[in-house]
Structure 1
Amino acid sequence: KMEEDTVHFHEMGLDDRILKALADLGWSQPTLIQEKAIPLALEGKDLLARARTGSGKTAAYAIPLIQRILTSKQTVREQAIRALVLVPTKELGQQVQTMIRQLTAFCSRDVRVADISGKADISAQKPILMEKPDIVVSTPSRVQAHINAQNLQLQTSLEMLVIDEADLLFSFGFEADLKSLLCHLPKIYQAFLMSATLNDDVQALKELVLHNPVMLKLQGSQLPDSSQLQQYSVRCEEEDKFLLIYTLLKLGLVQGKSLVFVRDVDRCYRLKLFLEQFSIPACVLNSELPIHSRCHIISQFNQGFYNYIIATDEQGLENPARHSQKTPEKGKKKKKKGKDKEYGVSRGIDFHNVSNVINFDFPASVESYIHRVGRTARADNPGSALSFISHTELQMLAEVENTLTGEGSHDSVLKPYGFKMEEIEGFRYRCRDAMRSVTKQAVKEARLKEIKQELLNSEKLKTYFEDNPRDLQLLRHDKDLHPAVIKPHLKNVPDYLSKTQRQIDRQKHFHVCFSPDGYFSFKQKLKISKII
């Protein structure tokens, strides 16, 4: 698209206060989804927009919401809830609220936003809703709970409805809540559905919510092309996965902020405890942690307090269709786990400037692969993705390749990662030594210890640290858990192994290397004298 054809923010008829906020955010011109969606939304049209994660979808609907509220208040000053934004997860709810507050920085008295998706008691949130914020952000279940408690009345005042990450709502179990709360909305309102994919659930929502919508399909491919996103795979079995991740992180072959995805929560802690043996700090993000702690972890990661998050994409992301159709069997009690059903990492969450995504365990579906890898190479930033592939994961790798390249194509999207495992055999005994310390009991104790620790952190986050934001930064989430016995000699790379690495360097073996600025092709690496 030619520069002269681009519609700029100041040409959209936006309020000066919104333009000032956009300038403060450093947004010189709209993204493609914003350029197309904002003018249509300001005309009052319903929208169904499909665009890739990181394309600016949130601002694409938030700006029209704010503009319409400002325009409405020029004639009707009565305070009322005029817009409802529905999201599938609490983390996304908080991020939507943050974005709206940034966009209303110069009109915050005229446009107020409240996120009620958190775990606070319904009664504790009632005073917030009694003040009738202009925009309410929430999960469908929490909105329905407030409607049932008569804390929320939308039938006479609501003008706009947004469903963000619409393709996830049903898979997160919100179908019944959503259909119920739609009965409490007025007959006429403007609606936006924002989604990364147009699956059957989105088509069903379109029929329920939209009236003669304009469809925006701005996503050509499901992931950025190879000039922006470099995707690699390496064949390695279970023990080799731990050996390789140790080598990548300890020798600095992975640089910049990285998300490491594993298949379940136990694996999160197993990997964290393993890395602790070598003094490699990482924090775990999972559904068992309190919402305040999870959001604080994301915030600190975005601010650069630590470089590695180990995460698992739970709650239906591995196979959304399966979860949307699954019903509990009669007579069987569901086993209760301390997990938050409104948790999600691989989609929607706005991780800033992620250089690398590492699939320590390959995802169980093509959709999950796309969502995980979509955490990097967002907007115009470069990124890299590396997947560890065991023999049991080869079939799913083939499915991912077929989806991304098309059936019958001989081109491979995931290029072989140029790494020879025999070159790091000298580190294997150290990894085995560390893995022996990470027992099932150690993992169990680590999970329990961190939950207790984060519950305490969460209370602090809600009370003392609200009044002392600077002290909030002192509360870190990547501290050692130490349920396994830490062996001090594993912290350093001994001289004889350092010499081995210098020999490798002299032999001029070239390896793929990641950098904070994205991928830079084959660079001579593995040169260390002594790492502390």
Structure 2
Amino acid sequence: MAAEKLRFHEMGLDERVLQAIASLSWAEPTLIQEKAIPLALEGKDLLARARTGSGKTAAYAIPIIEHLLNTKKSVCEQAVRALILVPTKELGQQVQQMVRQLTLCCARDVRVADVSGQVDVSAQRPILMEKPDIVIGTPSRILLHLEQHTLNLSTSLEMLVIDEADLLFSFGFENDLKNLLGHLPKIYQAFLMSATFNEDVQTLKELVLHNPMILKLTESQLPDSSQLIQYHIKCEEEEKFLLIYTFFKLSLVRGKTIIFVNSIDRCYRLKLFLEQFSILACVLNSELPVHSRCHIINQFNQSLYDYIIATDEHVLTNLSGSEEQKTKKKWCKKARAKDHEYGVSRGVDFYNVSNVINFDFPRSVESYIHRVGRTARANNQGTALTFVSHTELPLLQNVEDALAGENLDCALKPYQFRIEEIEGFRYRCKDAMRSVTKQSIKEARIKEIKQELLNSEKLKTYFEDNPRDFNLLRHDKPLHPAIVKPHLKNVPDYLIPQTLKGITKPLISKRKRWRRKVTGKSTQKNRKPNMKRNPLKHFTSQGKKRKAKSAS
């Protein structure tokens, strides 16, 4: 007989924490929360593996808040007692938001600060001078504050969390983290939260944890087929664009959607292609500053737009031995030119994502799992659709083998769609693709950078002193923009396949007919002329006679 599931009110939590949980409408804890929270409340170190979207953040945030509330009953001194390390700035903001939601009823007693952003260190000094109870940041930013003595953890720290632990080393934080640990006290409670147990996590375990409880939850890394439906469709490069156009324009894909590609150029190529048909999508990649990325994510979460085209450039192909090390080094050099603390497929919580489309096949099994993990989170339903070209078939086989090893009953099913039925749209897609040239993609990327410069707070004073530079930048137009053709916006009825007419809702803009407003009695002057009458038989020269009288 199965044991009854432990509920939040049975864990001995503070009433204020229970009220915050109730305000979030959490009826019962997830598996990771049910297992981890009681052990954490007992003061034990934890190494926990759970799939993305399983509630790992609350699993460590609730024990931290509970510990701080209990500590403040006997200790009045304000100090930083909890440190949460994250691999990306986006994840840092998400963790801060979750902690604030859980401290809704005790915000005066538990204060939290996120210093993971790209704000200047001096601007964050006043926040840290107030000694918030919980500090969130990336290892590099926390180490910077420790070295500049704006943050001191040597005596006050009681709890340490490393979230998405398997990503920290791959993001280049190995040395920063090792140096950071030297600034911490010898005794503290630690949590390592990860989606996978790899060699990096094992190294962290030896560095950070002391006799930890290891939670290897038996649940698979992805939800089962009752919650997540996974499809694949075999198509070549040109057909990928044809399919994405058809799915969006005929509303075959409905709801908020994340489209994943493998490079920044592909991001802008797909964005400009969709713009040809008045399908608006937003781009999310490592070239954008962190404030812009977080702003885009917030707007998406608030349903201000439905489509995001995202990259996950940090994911590496599964290689072996020295070849893998070489690739990592090459990637690290390339990533530093952008933002090496960027991450979309991991950590970031997009709300109510109905679909994930892998426009480009992910480079590894882990990348596939983390991409698809953006949908079907909590108890929501989700769909994942992956485009597969003939060169990507071995990657598809790797993913299917990995999922079969986890006993998933929902591996990637073939998507039953006959591409011959949408051949009528092919000429439109070719026409749109001709407009998206390499130069127009380059101009689109430059345009994004210009916009960021114009919106930059750091450059605001410079532009005030140099208005000419501001005007030049603002009025500098692209030399080779992607030409948008208005006629591609509408979908003619004759192009829609007969089999799809009953289920599609094409985005067709209808022309408004002009109608005269009838006020009072109808007169000869305001009466609409009868176009069927023959003008040669009903011609009068009264107008000319009136002109002649007025002239005389």
TM exceeding 0.5: yes
Equivalence for 1:434: 432
Supply the distance in 2 between the matched residues of 1:59 and 1:412 (Cα, whole angstroms).
28
After TM superposition, list the pairs within 5 Å mapping 1:351-362 onto structure 2.
351-362=350-361
- The SS at the match of 1:137 is strand
- Two-structure CA RMSD over aligned residues (Å): 2.6
- The SS at the match of 2:342 is coil
When residues 432 and 334 of structure 1 are mapped into structure 2, their CA distance, relative to the original with a 3 A threshold, is same
1:75 counterpart letter in structure 2:
S
Equivalence for 1:86: 85
2:259 counterpart letter in structure 1:
V
Supply the distance in 1 between the matched residues of 2:285 and 2:324 (Cα, whole angstroms).
19
- The SS at the match of 1:496 is helix
Contact kept in structure 1, 2:356 and 2:371, CA below 8 Å: yes
Equivalence for 1:497: 495
- 1:531 is displaced (CA, Å) by 5.9
When residues 345 and 323 of structure 1 are mapped into structure 2, their CA distance, relative to the original with a 3 A threshold, is farther
Which residue of the other structure, out of 406, 411, 414, is the alignment partner of 1:413? 411
Equivalence for 1:226: 225
Supply the distance in 1 between the matched residues of 2:224 and 2:120 (Cα, whole angstroms).
45
After TM superposition, list the pairs within 5 Å mapping 1:119-268 onto structure 2.
119-268=118-267
Contact kept in structure 1, 2:45 and 2:210, CA below 8 Å: yes
- 1:414 is displaced (CA, Å) by 0.8
Supply the distance in 1 between the matched residues of 2:500 and 2:142 (Cα, whole angstroms).
60
1:483 counterpart letter in structure 2:
P
After TM superposition, list the pairs within 5 Å mapping 1:20-99 onto structure 2.
20-99=19-98
- Between 227-236 and 317-326, report the one with greater CA deviation: 317-326
Supply the distance in 1 between the matched residues of 2:454 and 2:238 (Cα, whole angstroms).
35
Contact kept in structure 2, 1:319 and 1:368, CA below 8 Å: no
After TM superposition, list the pairs within 5 Å mapping 1:300-449 onto structure 2.
300-316=299-315, 328=329, 338-406=337-405, 413-449=411-447
Supply the distance in 1 between the matched residues of 2:220 and 2:74 (Cα, whole angstroms).
44
Supply the distance in 1 between the matched residues of 2:319 and 2:57 (Cα, whole angstroms).
22
- 1:128 is displaced (CA, Å) by 1.2
Contact kept in structure 2, 1:168 and 1:320, CA below 8 Å: no
- 1:525 is displaced (CA, Å) by 2.9
Equivalence for 1:517: none
Contact kept in structure 1, 2:166 and 2:195, CA below 8 Å: yes
- The SS at the match of 1:5 is coil
When residues 458 and 7 of structure 1 are mapped into structure 2, their CA distance, relative to the original with a 3 A threshold, is farther
Contact kept in structure 1, 2:286 and 2:338, CA below 8 Å: yes
Equivalence for 2:10: 11
2:112 counterpart letter in structure 1:
V
Unaligned runs of at least 5 residues, structure 1: 464-480, 507-523
- Between 84-93 and 224-233, report the one with greater CA deviation: 224-233
Task: For residues 464-497 of structure 1, give each alpha carbon's deviation from its aligned partner in whole angstroms, at most 9, with x where no partner exists.
Answer: xxxxxxxxxxxxxxxxx99311101100112432
Aligned: 1:277 with 2:285: no
Task: For residues 181-240 of structure 1, give each alpha carbon's deviation from its aligned partner in whole angstroms, at most 9, with x where no partner exists.
Answer: 011110000000001111111111111111011111114322111121111111111110
1:504 counterpart letter in structure 2:
T
Supply the distance in 2 between the matched residues of 1:88 and 1:350 (Cα, whole angstroms).
14
- Between 367-376 and 444-453, report the one with greater CA deviation: 444-453
Supply the distance in 2 between the matched residues of 1:309 and 1:420 (Cα, whole angstroms).
26
When residues 244 and 84 of structure 1 are mapped into structure 2, their CA distance, relative to the original with a 3 A threshold, is same
Contact kept in structure 2, 1:505 and 1:526, CA below 8 Å: yes
Equivalence for 1:298: 297
Contact kept in structure 2, 1:293 and 1:458, CA below 8 Å: no
Supply the distance in 1 between the matched residues of 2:16 and 2:409 (Cα, whole angstroms).
49
- 1:530 is displaced (CA, Å) by 4.5
1:17 counterpart letter in structure 2:
R
Supply the distance in 2 between the matched residues of 1:486 and 1:14 (Cα, whole angstroms).
58
Supply the distance in 2 between the matched residues of 1:327 and 1:527 (Cα, whole angstroms).
46
TM-score (norm. length: structure 1): 0.87
Unaligned runs of at least 5 residues, structure 2: 462-478, 511-552
1:432 counterpart letter in structure 2:
K
- 1:74 is displaced (CA, Å) by 0.9
- The SS at the match of 1:142 is helix
Contact kept in structure 1, 2:220 and 2:408, CA below 8 Å: no
- 1:24 is displaced (CA, Å) by 1.1
- The SS at the match of 2:499 is helix
Task: For residues 374-400 of structure 1, give each alpha carbon's deviation from its aligned partner in whole angstroms, at most 9, with x where no partner exists.
Answer: 111112211111000111101101111
When residues 152 and 175 of structure 1 are mapped into structure 2, their CA distance, relative to the original with a 3 A threshold, is same
- The SS at the match of 1:358 is strand
- Between 227-236 and 83-92, report the one with greater CA deviation: 227-236
Which residue of the other structure, out of 484, 487, 497, is the alignment partner of 2:485? 487
Contact kept in structure 2, 1:191 and 1:210, CA below 8 Å: yes
Supply the distance in 1 between the matched residues of 2:379 and 2:391 (Cα, whole angstroms).
34
- Between 215-224 and 198-207, report the one with greater CA deviation: 215-224
1:351 counterpart letter in structure 2:
F
Supply the distance in 1 between the matched residues of 2:335 and 2:160 (Cα, whole angstroms).
33
When residues 328 and 394 of structure 1 are mapped into structure 2, their CA distance, relative to the original with a 3 A threshold, is closer
- 1:337 is displaced (CA, Å) by 6.6
Contact kept in structure 2, 1:86 and 1:138, CA below 8 Å: yes
1:525 counterpart letter in structure 2:
I
Equivalence for 2:524: none
When residues 42 and 319 of structure 1 are mapped into structure 2, their CA distance, relative to the original with a 3 A threshold, is same
- 1:443 is displaced (CA, Å) by 0.5
Equivalence for 1:287: 286
When residues 328 and 400 of structure 1 are mapped into structure 2, their CA distance, relative to the original with a 3 A threshold, is closer
Supply the distance in 1 between the matched residues of 2:201 and 2:450 (Cα, whole angstroms).
39
- 1:364 is displaced (CA, Å) by 0.9
Task: For residues 14-69 of structure 1, give each alpha carbon's deviation from its aligned partner in whole angstroms, at most 9, with x where no partner exists.
Answer: 11111111111111221111111111101000001111111110001001101101
Supply the distance in 2 between the matched residues of 1:327 and 1:338 (Cα, whole angstroms).
15
- 1:320 is displaced (CA, Å) by 9.9
1:260 counterpart letter in structure 2:
I
What is the aligned-residue identity percentage? Answer: 72
- Between 281-290 and 449-458, report the one with greater CA deviation: 449-458
Contact kept in structure 2, 1:260 and 1:310, CA below 8 Å: yes
Supply the distance in 2 between the matched residues of 1:308 and 1:275 (Cα, whole angstroms).
11
Across the two proteins, how many residue pairs are aligned to each other?
Answer: 490
When residues 303 and 319 of structure 1 are mapped into structure 2, their CA distance, relative to the original with a 3 A threshold, is farther
When residues 529 and 277 of structure 1 are mapped into structure 2, their CA distance, relative to the original with a 3 A threshold, is closer
Task: For residues 67-89 of structure 1, give each alpha carbon's deviation from its aligned partner in whole angstroms, at most 9, with x where no partner exists.
Answer: 10111111111010000000000
Contact kept in structure 1, 2:224 and 2:409, CA below 8 Å: no
Supply the distance in 1 between the matched residues of 2:329 and 2:224 (Cα, whole angstroms).
41
Contact kept in structure 1, 2:229 and 2:410, CA below 8 Å: no
Contact kept in structure 2, 1:172 and 1:324, CA below 8 Å: no
Kindly name which structure, 1 or 2, has the bigger radius of gyration based on alpha carbons.
Answer: 2
When residues 411 and 58 of structure 1 are mapped into structure 2, their CA distance, relative to the original with a 3 A threshold, is closer
